[in-house]
């Protein structure tokens, strides 16, 4: 069981009250939609400093749109390389939607390959402190959690799902800042194999529901955390995305609701290498905007 494996590693503890004959990971996904993991590697200190670097990066790009444009051009070049197929997505880099009504958010999609690509093809980015600090912080965080995706895949009986010749599994780290005017509409499913909600400054705003053939607004709630958050300890949630339906694992719908303040969050997405998206017929999701 992943629980014993992780205990032995002495790194993480899965959140369960069942001491023996513990429910499998697939079963926990089915019943609750998520598993909670206690992370004793990083706590508030790591993420607070990541958000400080993110704010500095946002301020830099907003004051220097030429650099934001340059990063966008680099991203366009990156997704024309073989890496686009490795990650099977076009989402990389900086997305400033602070002025878009309802969206009111700013996000960055980081990957180690994107980082390497930028530094090798555009070395001038290394000279910008705001970019360097942010990239370094993302690198360290992503590196810390790679093994967790591999262990979860093993526990699910999908050992080979992330294997490739490419060195790192296709993981994208998303750092997001929701502004007070952010207004959500509908829950969504992630277009990932697995998603880790690594940290947020307000956990109560993240609502989940286990997958159901039909669900309503009332099915969604904020998971009760068993692990407290402190300077060097953190509570993480692992959920399935929609790239595992061929294995009869269905994605967990979720939504970040409006809380009227600034909210930061860090999420890690595990994609499937060189995966061609299938057409999925998933349950429709309810509208929260009423
Ligand atoms: Fe999501």
Q: How do residues 40-59 score in pLDDT, each as one tens digit? A: 888 888 999 999 999 999 99
Q: Is the pLDDT of residue 12 over 60?
A: no
Pairing of strands 206-208, 254-256: antiparallel
CA of 287 to the centre of ligand 1 (A): 16
State how far the Cα of 33 lies from the Cα of 254, in Å rounded to an integer.
10
CA of 103 to the centre of ligand 1 (A): 14
- The answer for 21, left when phi > 0, alpha when psi is -120 to 50, beta otherwise, is left
CA of 190 to the centre of ligand 1 (A): 5
What integer is the mean pLDDT of 264-268? 97
Q: Is the pLDDT of residue 13 over 80?
A: no
Q: For residue 65, is it within any domain?
A: yes
Neighbours of 78 (CB within 10 A): 21
DSSP assignment string, the chain: -HHHHHHHHTSEEE--S--SSPPPHHHHHHHHS-EEEEESS--HHHHHHHHHHHHHHHHHHHH-HHHHHHHHHHHHHHTTSTHHHHHT----EEEEETTSTTT-EEEEEE-HHHHHHHHHH-GGGGG-HHHHHHHHHHHHHHHHHHHHHHHHHHHTT-TTTT--SSSS--EEEEEEEE-TT------B--SSSEEEEEEES-GGGEEE----SS--GGG-BPPPPSSPPBTTBEEEEEEE-GGGGGGT-----EEE---SS-EEEEEEEE--TTPPPPP-----------
CA of 60 to the centre of ligand 1 (A): 27
Confidence of residue 218 (pLDDT cuts 50, 70, 90): very high
Q: For residue 246, is it within any domain?
A: yes
Q: For residue 282, is it within any domain?
A: no
User: What percentage of the chain carries pLDDT values higher than 90?
Assistant: 70
CA of 1 to the centre of ligand 1 (A): 27
Q: For residue 249, is it within any domain?
A: yes
Q: For residue 289, is it within any domain?
A: no
CA of 14 to the centre of ligand 1 (A): 21
Residues 114-151: tens digit of each pLDDT = 999 999 999 999 999 999 999 999 999 999 999 999 99
Residues 148-207: tens digit of each pLDDT = 999 999 999 998 888 766 667 899 999 999 999 998 889 999 999 999 999 999 999 999
State how far the Cα of 45 lies from the Cα of 231, in Å rounded to an integer.
6
Q: Which residues surround ligand 1, an ion (CB under 5 A)?
A: 190
Q: For residue 155, is it within any domain?
A: yes
CA of 133 to the centre of ligand 1 (A): 26
Q: For residue 168, is it within any domain?
A: yes
Residues 64-114: tens digit of each pLDDT = 999 999 999 999 999 998 777 889 889 999 999 999 888 899 999 999 999
Q: Mean pLDDT score of the chain, rounded to an integer?
A: 88
Q: For residue 278, is it within any domain?
A: no
CA of 153 to the centre of ligand 1 (A): 19
CATH number, domain with residue 86: 2.60.120
The number of domains in the chain is 1
CA of 251 to the centre of ligand 1 (A): 10
Domain that holds residue 89: 2-11+23-270
């Amino acid at each position: 069981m992943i629980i014993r494996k992780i205990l032995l590693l002495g790194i993480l503890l899965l959140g369960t009250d069942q001491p023996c004959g513990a429910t499998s990971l697939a079963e926990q996904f089915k019943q609750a939609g998520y598993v909670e993991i206690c992370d004793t590697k990083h706590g508030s200190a790591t993420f607070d400093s990541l958000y400080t670097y993110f704010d500095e990066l946002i301020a830099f790009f907003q004051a220097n749109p030429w650099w934001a444009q340059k990063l966008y051009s680099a991203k366009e070049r990156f997704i024309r390389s073989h890496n686009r197929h490795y990650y099977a997505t076009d989402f990389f880099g900086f997305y400033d939607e602070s002025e878009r009504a309802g969206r009111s958010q700013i996000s960055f999609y980081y990957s180690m390959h994107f980082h390497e690509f930028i530094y090798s093809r555009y070395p001038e980015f290394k000279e910008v402190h705001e970019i360097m600090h942010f990239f370094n912080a993302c690198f360290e965080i992503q590196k810390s959690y790679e093994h967790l995706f591999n262990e979860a895949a093993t526990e699910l009986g999908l050992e080979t799902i992330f294997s490739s010749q490419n060195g790192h599994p296709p993981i994208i780290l998303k750092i997001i800042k929701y502004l007070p005017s952010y207004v959500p509409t509908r829950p969504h499913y992630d277009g990932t194999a697995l998603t880790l909600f690594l940290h947020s400054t307000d956990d109560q705003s993240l609502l989940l529901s286990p997958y159901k053939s039909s669900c309503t607004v009332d099915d969604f709630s904020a998971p009760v955390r068993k692990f407290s958050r402190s300077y060097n300890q953190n509570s993480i949630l692992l959920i399935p995305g929609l790239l595992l339906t061929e294995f009869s694992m269905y994605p967990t719908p979720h939504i970040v609701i409006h809380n009227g303040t600034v909210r930061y969050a860090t999420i890690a997405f595990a994609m499937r290498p060189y995966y061609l998206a299938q057409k999925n017929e998933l349950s429709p999701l309810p509208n929260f905007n009423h």
